[in-house]
Amino acid sequence: MVYDAIVVGSGPGGGIAAYALCQRGLKVALVEAGRRLVPGKDYGRDLPPLDLLARRLKEGKSGGFDSAWDYREQDHFTPVGDRPAHGLLKALGGRSLCWAGHTLRFGPLDFQKWPIPYDEVAPYYARAERFMGVYGYKDGLSNLPDGEYLAPVPMRAGESLLRRGVTRLKRTGRAMDYIALRKAMTTGKHASGRAICQYCGNCGGCPIDSKYTSANTPIPLAMKTGNLTVFTNAMLTRILMGREANRVAGIEYTNPDGQTEKLECRTLVMACSAVETARILLANRTKEFPQGLANSSGQVGRNLTSHFGLTVLGLFPQLATRNRSDDAGTGYYHSLLTGMYWDKPNPNFEGTYQVQCGSGLPPQRLFYRGEKGFGAGFKQELLRKNICHVGMNMQGSLLVSKNKYIDLDMDRLDRYGIPFPRIHLRYEDSDLAMAQDVVNVSEEIIRAGGGEVMTSPGKVRSEDLVIDSNHWVGTARMGRNPKLSVVNVDSQTHDIPNLFIGDASVFPQYPEKNPTLTNIALSWRMSERLADKMRRKEI
């Protein structure tokens, strides 16, 4: 059979593409390298805490937190430079199984360097929020637009004191805002029928499927259309070209028995993640595309960016006697510092940042574990500091430069014979200056709120910075000029009209906000455009 579309990768990007294409009546094959993991069995197991810990130690896993992230790939890329990392979870649903669910729209200013404006994506944001089930307050911020939300989850006590600090600084004319977070978890009845959140805090492996994943919402709905065939444990190893040099004809994949099989298609959607999609395109070379498929521009793997950060901890002694049973919730972070440098950029660095904030004693684990000592006094102090603490975690947009990119490590092949990706990362002066600003501002807010700084990097060095291994974007960027970009405004590659990209590789510029909602909105838009083009017989 020739599929109308093959979608490779079943994470947020691929899952929504499979759903949207099936809804349009296309016959779709969803090809996923990993297996199906079952919530409550493979992760998020509901055992008494000590039994769970014993079982995990027996399995060679540390801690009592039973996350889908335990299944992530190891030793699957080559790092170059300043400690890059690469999050990859091969499973049906990809990293949506373990994501934290923070669901933020990019704002109108964030689209200024995109070839499409905010208004073009806004209807897809609204549709995606309704479809996913996202909770939140409407805050009326200029560059973090409100969406369509289920009942909100408030911030915890320590975070309210940070908000007090922000309010005081705002009175002196500072640009900043402080809001409760927005997450893709059902706090009320939702069309998907997913369970209502229990605030158990195990969101890295939600045992009851309250959190949105590709595996629990779009893929089952796509199956119901009768148009979807799912291939799990199926690693794409080669893209097959047709008689015309610029047309994909199908793919080769390795089946669970290790044999090579072929699938034929009219269109191909790559949604393997920003690192893996670039890797596959670079690894597939033909006479016509000697630098890799869809790479006549030489831009595949370039323009790489992610988020990076560090953490400042504060202490509010006045919280010591509060009733901490109120700290149940959706993971650790319940609030967000935002709105710095949207309108007036900081002269010392490019871009801006947000700061995810948490506090108190959320379920599952102690956030602050830096206490030294032993015995009853140690336990008492550890407990006190956790009850009274606030955590401020920077999420800054990493400067795009020629020093940050992906290529192939031709000396290291995976077990399918594909070269591993090599990730090059070098922090630059702008990145360091941004991190220094976060430290200064966070310390200031803690003090303005009536607290004291507990731990802080102080003067920031490159070694203090931690890359977000799960937020890479930009490696096949969108643009109108085929010489400077890989895909057009429909996420269709300039070079190969029946090859589309459904993941965050296509982001042409990256703000401080989390990527997944925009990834889903764009992939949904791409799928509809693909279906329309097929209907009009343009591809």
**Residues in the site for ligand SF4, rule: CB under 6 A?**
185, 197-203, 206, 208, 210-211, 330
Least separation in angstroms between residue 515's CB and ligand FAD is 5
Residues 275-294 binding ligand FAD (CB under 6 A) are 276, 280
Q: Which is nearer to ligand FAD, 13 or 158 (CB)?
A: 13
Cβ 347 to ligand FAD, closest distance in Å? 29
Distances (CA, A) of 281 to 212, 271, 276, 305: 29, 12, 9, 18
Largest CA distance in the chain: 75
Nearest-5° angle of CA 17, CA 18, CA 19?
Answer: 90
> Contact between 336 and ligand FAD (CB under 6 A)?
no
Ranges within 484-503 binding ligand FAD (CB under 6 A) = 503
Query: Considering the rule CB under 6 A, would residue 201 count as an interface residue with ligand FAD?
Result: no
Q: Which residues contact 50 (CB under 8 A, 6 or more apart)?
A: none
Which of 7, 9, 404, 451 binds ligand FAD (CB under 6 A)? It is: 9
Q: Quote the least distance from Cβ 492 to ligand FAD, whole Å.
A: 17
Nearest-approach distance from CB 167 to ligand SF4, in angstroms:
28
Residue choice 5, 7, 34, 316 for contact with ligand FAD (CB under 6 A): 34
Residue 201 Cβ vs ligand SF4, minimum distance, rounded to whole Å: 5
Is the distance from CB of 159 to CB of 357 less than 8 angstroms? yes
Question: What does the H/E/C string look like for 2-30?
Answer: EEEEEEECCCHHHHHHHHHHHHCCCCEEE
> Taking the complex as a whole, how short is the minimal distance between the CB of residue 217 and ligand SF4, in angstroms?
13
Residue 88 or 438: the one with the smaller Cβ distance to ligand FAD is: 88
Conformation bin of residue 458: beta by default, left when phi > 0, alpha when psi is -120 to 50:
left
**Residues with Cβ within 8 Å of residue 170, at least 6 apart in sequence:** 176, 177
Smallest separation, CB 450 to ligand FAD (Å): 29
Q: How far is the CB of 227 from ligand FAD (least distance, A)?
A: 20
Q: Where are the beta strands (DSSP E) in 304-404?
A: 307-309, 311-315, 333-338, 353-359, 389-397
Question: With CB cut-offs between 5 and 8 Å by kind, which of ligand SF4, ligand FAD, none does residue 470 bind?
Answer: ligand FAD
Q: What is the total count of residues that contact ligand FAD (CB under 6 A)?
A: 39
Strand partners, 33: none
Least distance CB 16 / ligand FAD (angstroms): 9
By beta-carbon proximity to ligand FAD, the closer residue of 9 and 165 is 9
Q: Does 250 help bind ligand FAD (rule: CB under 6 A)?
A: no
One-letter-per-residue 3-state SS of 227-242: CEEEECCCEEEEEEEC
Could you tell me which stretch among 9-17, 285-293, 335-343, 483-491 binds ligand FAD (CB under 6 A)?
9-17
Residues 502-521 that bind ligand FAD (CB under 6 A): 503-504, 514-516, 519
Judged by CB under 6 A, which stretch of 100-108, 115-123, 242-250, 419-427 contacts ligand FAD?
100-108
Q: How far is CA 167 from CA 175, 179, 344, in A?
A: 10, 11, 19
Structural contact between residues 186 and 70, judged by C-beta atoms closer than 8 angstroms: no
* C-beta separation of 98 from 178 below 8 A: no
Of the candidates 185, 215, 236, 241, which one interacts with ligand FAD according to CB under 6 A?
236
Q: What is the DSSP letter of 95?
A: G
Q: Which is nearer to ligand SF4, 197 or 530 (CB)?
A: 197
Coil, strand or helix at 335? strand
Handedness of CA 183, 186, 187, 189 (dihedral sign): positive
Q: Which of residues 84, 94, 207, 396 is near ligand FAD by CB under 6 A?
A: 94
Spatial contact of 269 and 496, defined as CB atoms under 8 Å apart: no
Q: In angstroms, what CA-CA distances link 34 with 5, 68, 97, 255, 520?
A: 20, 12, 12, 11, 20
Structure tokens at 123: 């209807």
Nearest to 107 by CA among 485, 516, 383, 511: 511
Binds ligand FAD by CB under 6 A, chosen from 5, 6, 8, 239: 8
503 interface partner picked from ligand FAD, ligand SF4, none, CB below 5 to 8 A per type: ligand FAD
Residue with the shortest CB distance to ligand FAD: 11
464 counts as binding ligand FAD under rule CB under 6 A: no
The CB-of-504 to ligand SF4 minimum distance in angstroms stands at 23
- Binding partner at 8 among ligand FAD, ligand SF4, none, C-beta below 5 to 8 Å by kind: ligand FAD
């993640």: which residue's tokens? 273
Chain residues in the site for ligand FAD (CB under 6 A)? 8-14, 31-34, 69, 87, 90-91, 94-96, 98-102, 204, 235-236, 271-273, 276, 280, 470-471, 503-504, 514-516, 519
